[in-house]
Structure 1
Amino acid sequence: MLNYVEFFDKGVALCPDRTFLVDGDVRMTFAETARLTHRIAAGLLAAGVGPDDPVATMAPNTAAGYTCQWGIIRSGAPWLPVNVRNGIEENLEVLQRMRARFLFFDSSLTDEACRILAEVPTLRAAVCIDAAAAGCPALESWLPPDDGSTGTYHERGPRDVVSIPTTSGTSGRVKGVQLSNASFAAGIANYLALMPYDVAPVTLAVAPLTHGAGYFAGTTIPLGGAIVMHRDTDPGSVLAAIGEHRITTLFVPPTLLYGMLAHPRVREHDYSSLRYVISGAAPLSETRLREAIEVFGPVFCQNYSQTEAPVTVAFMTPRQHVEALADPASEGRLRSVGTEAPFARFAIMDDDGALLGPGERGEIVVRGELVMNGYFEDPEQTAAVSAHGWHHTGDVGVVDDDGYLYVVDRKKDMIISGGFNVYPGEVEQVIWSHPGVLDCAVVGAPDEKWGERVVAVVEAEEGVEIDAAALRRSLRERLGGVKAPKEVLLWERLPRSGNGKVLKREIRRRFWQGLDRSI
């Protein structure tokens, strides 16, 4: 099995002189990028960074920041990605809890870097990737001379840790997810088996490359895939960039996709280069999915995975979407996330560890090389999610007779109202279909009569006014008295994470604040 960096080197060997990274006016070929990664790796070893010393990157989507990521991986040290869209307090917790030893940061984050240097005691040194800042050298002055050698770095095997992304899940506590060479190799194998290319891939990097978007971008590198950095999340600029750069591959979280579809000029751009538009990170509105296929063509994919089992567990290909749309008997599959990826296994399990059959609802569990080694220095949590020989996702799902997986909700998000189980995802699908709704979240709020009452918090499209009372009546007609929200609230903006996920726990906390119970 190849180590992750060897997939990068395949791209270098295939087309050394092809442009690999595009960042504004900056163009870097595969060969140029590879040389820089060797110098970064050599610099880390000269600085005393060992194979168990996490090295962090904290930068927006830039060519220099992405190159540092590969330099860290090449050195054999674990790469610790830091999401710049998170708040400084959360990123401080990430760096402290994971005991970061070295930091590469962008000068736009100098204030944050100053705090990190002062408050993360394990840090040995830091380098600013684009200019001297915060008392730290610029990358160019820190790098050892380019002597043309490839260097000797820390030896790493298939199950050695390559990266430690972090996740808070439903608990709110940061956990370090230890991903191995085998995890990434399985992810690349799944992706390329499911998404073949008839042209050289070009990925538009809009979502942070430190997270899911980076995993997907990395899978095209062995094919000589180029990556275009795009720091602007304005939907209109994303739409224009597709045609300008002849983008083949775009990973978008649902929130950005909804904004793109709602843009007044969405049908005026050229999308003929697109091969795959991938949605992941959160459930997708079936109504918007249909619209996306109409606008962008038969290129839409849905992906199911999580940080602990990255890239692809289940996948809905463009062909499967087209087939579901063409056959009324199969259109319900549009609500699924597809079928099992070639190099992964999923199943549905009850609370006692028994595997369930088609149509039975339970927790989604996963097996395969892609699953993490465990949580960083957290054997208790690792054991909890590894019970019965499967990785437990915390998601509730069901599999139909044809093997299509449907994600119903997060296990801990389930609302028990009047003794009945209500899954917010089912209610949200109906709300998303209402005209003018950009996004929504359904949570349980305390109620003396029902124990929990179903509450919908709705964000309208820009310039649209929604009648909350009329929406509530419509939902009651469609969902019945148990599932329909007892209350519909209109918020200007829903709280979101740096990855664009709606933070349900933040919404829920507002209703339960000050109480001695949370269920």
Structure 2
Amino acid sequence: MHIVDFFDRGRQIAPDGPAFVMDDRSWTYSDAGDLSCRIGHALLANGIATGGKVAVLSPNDPVAMICVVGLWRAGCVWVPLNPGNPAADNVNLIRRFDCEFVFVHSSQQAVIDALVHDTGQTPQLVCIDRDLEDWAAASPSTPPEAPYAPDDIVAIMPTGGTTGPSKGAMITHRSMSVALAHMMIVFTYPSDHRIVNLAAAPLTHTAGFLAIPTLARGGTVVLLPRPAPEAVVDAIERHGVTELFLPPTVVYRLLGLPDLAARDLSSLRYLLYGAAPMSTAKLRRAIEVLGPVLMGGYGQVEAFASISYLRPEEHLVDGRIASDERLGSVGRPSPLIRVRVVDDADRELTPGQTGEICVRGDLVMAGYYRDAEATAAAVVDGWLHTGDVGHLDHEGYLHITDRKKDLIISGGFNVYPAEVEQVLLAHPAVQDCAVVGAPHPDWGEAVTAVVELIPGSTVDADELIAACRAALGPVRTPKQVDFVDTLPRSPAGKVLRREARAPYWAIAGQTI
């Protein structure tokens, strides 16, 4: 399929139905479709050829999503930029990925100024909330005819940058279609069910892609500027939201709302969580409060967003909440890919053995943009080496132990931070945490916990250390616990262990 076919199917189903809603404004499928066609024609008229790179930089906004559909109609390549990034980082990505055109929101004035005053070649710019309508007004509202092949690149996705500078994962029509097919397989509805997706997290990440299957079925995407817990609950009640994505940190804050149990969330069918490990203790509470609607997900931009899912019914066994072992998994691998776990010699391991998770299939990226060396290291004989360490259990559930680069080696023993973080997150005072290796003259690295507490809660380091020792034994127990007001996070809400670890190594005069 051409990626635009997903939107156009929804347009056929409900041409006069609401495709997007934000605040008190609504965009029908016909209105959004016509605007996307005019955008596609205008790009071509302004010299942006098929295959040209077009960045979209905006907070959550329906017009930004319509711009993405429009640039795809012109056969262009979408470069999603997160407005939560520092302006200099976004300017750098625009340059590195050779963007010829940028759709930008006026809230990103620092980026606009930097591009306009840069001495290099400036891409064409259109401000989506000031100039877009006039810019595209004279263009026809019929779909432009642009050449298409299934393996054409439709997006260059910046990687998370959690272990270094972002790379650009090249996604094709084929790989994105497989990801969307995976989503449509697990997000099931009766044919007459009204689907309402709440896009509260940044549209440049999972929240944006989960919206596309909703549009393909003629549903409505409700947008929020940010995932504030109170606003999320209000939107679910007001719009009858059936599905949404939230990172674990926001789920934790949602559970902290004092009136949550009294709110009407009965429309909710799926709450997808992912992008970071989820505390099994907090996951249990979420199921108790929200019901069997939680769905775990695992993916990367390199294997587009849908390697595996833990479906809502898999959170239960015989009507009761499943064991921590099951809840700690990321579900069974999706149907249109192959997954295996290998050792350092690339030998496939048996169930229960821990190694690197590898993925093969049409879901996998075409490579990193202008980085053949990184591509060759990541994709070997067709297998994507994810950099994630884990295992498959005897029931076929996939477990993520940690990132390979986050492994702590203390006194010759391997310590996986996620195992320690699960124990810390089970404490009722802990909002979130990062377990890192700090330099130690005898052990090489000392297990160290950086902890963010729930506002108004208290706990001392000795109590947390004792809880870890009781659950994990002495080797994996933190030797030091430091409390911070706020942990470093990516714009997608993922805790950045690398940044939490850096100060300890800087004090020792070393870099990581």
Please report the TM-score for the alignment, with normalisation by the length of structure 2: 0.97
Deviation at 1:121, TM superposition (A): 3.1
Deviation at 1:353, TM superposition (A): 1.3
2:152 alignment counterpart:
160
Which aligned pairs between 1:204-219 and structure 2 lie closer than 5 A? 204-219=198-213
2:393 alignment counterpart:
400
| Aligned 8 A contact 1:92 1:116 in 2 | yes
In the alignment, is residue 450 of structure 1 matched against residue 443 of structure 2?
yes
Deviation at 1:332, TM superposition (A): 1.8
Distance in 1, Cα, partners of 2:491 & 2:123: 27
Which aligned pairs between 1:214-225 and structure 2 lie closer than 5 A? 214-225=208-219
Name the SS for the 2:67 alignment partner: helix
Deviation at 1:325, TM superposition (A): 6.6
Name the SS for the 1:267 alignment partner: helix
Distance in 1, Cα, partners of 2:32 & 2:408: 50
Which aligned pairs between 1:113-128 and structure 2 lie closer than 5 A? 113-119=112-118, 121-128=120-127
Deviation larger for 301-310 or 108-117: 108-117
2:467 to 467, 471, 474: 474
In the alignment, is residue 336 of structure 1 matched against residue 353 of structure 2?
no
| Aligned 8 A contact 2:38 2:141 in 1 | no
1:46 alignment counterpart:
45
Which aligned pairs between 1:228-307 and structure 2 lie closer than 5 A? 228-307=222-301
The 4+ residue runs of structure 1 with deviation greater than 6 A are none
| Aligned 8 A contact 1:57 1:80 in 2 | yes
| Aligned 8 A contact 1:325 1:331 in 2 | no
Distance in 2, Cα, partners of 1:85 & 1:334: 31
1:181 to 173, 184, 194: 173
Per-residue CA distance 1:365-409 (angstroms, 9 max, x = gap)? 111111110000000000000124310110001110110000000
Question: Counterpart amino acid of 1:34?
Answer: G
Q: Check 1:45–1:55 CA distance in 2 against 1; reply closer, same or farther (3 A cut).
A: same
Name the SS for the 1:393 alignment partner: strand
In the alignment, is residue 202 of structure 1 matched against residue 201 of structure 2?
no
Q: Check 1:43–1:327 CA distance in 2 against 1; reply closer, same or farther (3 A cut).
A: closer
Q: Check 1:239–1:201 CA distance in 2 against 1; reply closer, same or farther (3 A cut).
A: same
Deviation at 1:120, TM superposition (A): 7.8
Distance in 1, Cα, partners of 2:204 & 2:100: 18
Question: Counterpart amino acid of 2:28?
Answer: T
Name the SS for the 1:164 alignment partner: strand
Deviation at 1:518, TM superposition (A): 5.1
Question: Counterpart amino acid of 1:184?
Answer: M
Distance in 2, Cα, partners of 1:368 & 1:117: 42
Q: Check 1:477–1:331 CA distance in 2 against 1; reply closer, same or farther (3 A cut).
A: closer
2:92 alignment counterpart:
93
| Aligned 8 A contact 2:88 2:111 in 1 | no
Distance in 1, Cα, partners of 2:218 & 2:111: 35
1:77 alignment counterpart:
76
Aligned length: 510
| Aligned 8 A contact 1:96 1:120 in 2 | no
Distance in 2, Cα, partners of 1:325 & 1:396: 31
2:423 alignment counterpart:
430
| Aligned 8 A contact 1:83 1:208 in 2 | yes
Taking every aligned residue pair, what percent have the same amino acid on both sides? 42
Where do 5+ consecutive residues of structure 2 fail to align? none
| Aligned 8 A contact 1:353 1:388 in 2 | no
Distance in 1, Cα, partners of 2:359 & 2:415: 24
